Amino acid sequence: MTEHTLEVAGVAIDTRHWIGGERVASVGTFTDVSPIDGTVLGEIARGGPAEAAAAVAAAKAAFPGWAATPRAERARLLHAIADGVEKRIEELAIVETADNGALLRSHRRGVMPRVAHNFRFFADWLLKLDHEDFETRGHTNHVSWDPAGPSALITPWNAPLMLSTWKVAPALAAGNTVVLKPAEWTPLTASLLADIAAEAGLPAGVLNVVQGYGAEIGDALTSHPDVRRISFTGSVPTARRIAASAAPHLTPLSLELGGKSPLLVFADADLDLAADLAVEQYDNAGQVCLAATRVLVEGSVAEEFTRRFVDKAIRLRQGDPRDETTDIGPNIHPRQLEKIDGFVQRAFAAGARAVIGGHPKDGQYYAPTLLTDVAQDSEIVQEEVFGPVLTLQTFADEDEAVRLANGTRFGLAATVATGDPERAERVSAQLVAGTVWINCFFVRDLQAPFGGSRHSGVGREGGTWSFDFYCDLKNTVTAPKGWKDHG
């Protein structure tokens, strides 16, 4: 172990930045603390404008060579990174659980395999990325995807490595170089990703990782004139600041922001399935942007639905996420726990009633909560809590269900539980959402567009949509004649 290395369950992690193929220290550090029990994991290099400038310069220097790298070679290197991830799934899972408190079993079985899949998917999609030539009055049109340049990728703490690689993989596949800034509450697996990419043979400067606070290093990245793409996942207020800093250089943005998604339960639904879908919204201690936190139930079945929901919810086991039997772990930070409880206490003051929960527990754990007697215009219905807190409202008919569902400033996702396929089609067509799930939840395919409407985001990524964002699209038009004879 060195002064720049920390250890989590036997896994050594370098706490410095990764810039231009080298580890770079900073004068200052910040403390990384595990939400599981408050253990200090280590001191992390705290970057600022100087580190941001160095990382962008490294990405800019590496860009011409990486952009000119043939597609097949870029794809090969992305598959090599995926191989490296798969070899270290257990290590990555252990470290990420310690860093963000999500379930170890989920990291092992789902999240880290998805990290590898992110690289494999976009590597394979790159090789088949094509648009058929077409003619205009005898002229041939040829569409191409040209690498755009250095990309700043700013990622959240609720699924750190998976959401980082959801951005890193398509950006690299597109031929862009990358500066990745992970959330300061969960920096560790991004550092391990830098090691894995280097071991896979990714050229120096193609992937850079910098750590620190948004106001210190994030702003320096998003306002840099040499950054040609910015992708951000996080809160609406932060997105506004990023958009303002990017505006002088007209840097294209992809923003995946908050949600206040509805779950619509109609009387003809399978109520056991609907209750299971509602309980699933407590996944990751409610720290999921897509979570359907507003449960809207047809009045005639509200009492029965609530009974089934409570029967299932009270059986959830909350505790140490490293335990295989745990269903709900801690919330990420004391500040987040205080924010969650503030929402709930203000809801109580406004007349809400807790069906279950409604209070913090020991440490950074918040009891799974369902609130009823809430008004549509109340804060608890309108604002994203980002914790294990659901609200329940009733509706009389489809029109009211849709009105309530669409009655916030968000539009990230929606879930519909119904036994009538015609109703499912009719209702889903009226919902303002980037994704609608019918009788299911969180089924995600990387070839589908992903993003939000209204204040839930700008743009779509996934499949060809990712390449559309990370590239400059070019149309080359060739005349049918005018060629000289070179015979």
Question: Whose CA is closest to 21, among 201, 173, 186?
Answer: 201
State the pLDDT at residue 75: 98
Instruction: Give CA–CA dist 370/344, Å, rounded.
Output: 10
pLDDT at 450: 95
Token pair recorded at residue 85: 């991830």
User: In this structure, which amino acid lies at residue 484?
Assistant: K
Characterize 178-199 residue by residue with b for buried, 16 or more Cβ atoms within 10 angstroms of its Cβ, and e for exposed. bbbbbbbbbbbbbbbbbbbbbe
Q: Under DSSP, is residue 353 helix (H, G, I), strand (E, B) or coil?
A: strand
55-96 pLDDT tens trace: 999 999 999 999 999 999 999 999 999 999 999 999 999 999
283 CA to centre of own chain:
15
The beta-carbon contacts of 352-355 under 8 Å, at least 24 apart in sequence, are 352/378, 352/380, 352/391, 355/306, 355/310, 355/392
Segment 347-369 shows an average pLDDT of 97
pLDDT of residue 451: 95
How buried is 481 (Cβ within 10 angstroms: 0-12 exposed, 13-18 middle, 19+ buried)? exposed
Name the token pair of 219.
Answer: 């702003």
How confident is the prediction for the chain on average, in pLDDT? 96
**pLDDT for residue 481 is more than 90:** no
pLDDT at 483: 85
pLDDT category of residue 487 using cuts at 50, 70 and 90: low
Give the strand pairing for 369-372 and 353-356.
antiparallel
The tokens describing 387, both together, are 């914790």
Please give the structure tokens belonging to residue 422: 């015609």
| R_g of the chain computed on alpha carbons | 24
d(CA 410, CA 428): 16
Query: What pLDDT score was predicted for residue 484?
Result: 85
Token digits of residue 94: 């252990």
What are the tens digits of pLDDT across the range 425-469? Answer: 999 999 999 999 999 999 999 999 999 999 999 999 999 999 999
**Average of pLDDT values for 300-310?**
98
- pTM greater than 0.85: yes
pLDDT tens digit sequence for 34-58:
999 999 999 999 999 999 999 999 9
pLDDT at 36: 96
Contact 220, 53 (CB under 8 A): yes
Amino acid (one-letter) located at 453: S
| pLDDT tens digits along 125-140 | 999 999 999 999 999 9
CA angle 189, 191, 192 (to 5 degrees): 65
The most distant pair of C-alpha atoms in the chain lies apart, rounded to whole Å, by 86
How many helices (H) and strands (E) the chain has is answered by 16, 22
Active site residues: 256, 289
Q: For residue 96, what are the CA distances in angstroms to 100, 211, 234, 374, 399?
A: 6, 16, 18, 36, 43
Domains and CATH numbers, the chain: 5-257+457-475 (3.40.605.10), 262-438 (3.40.309.10)
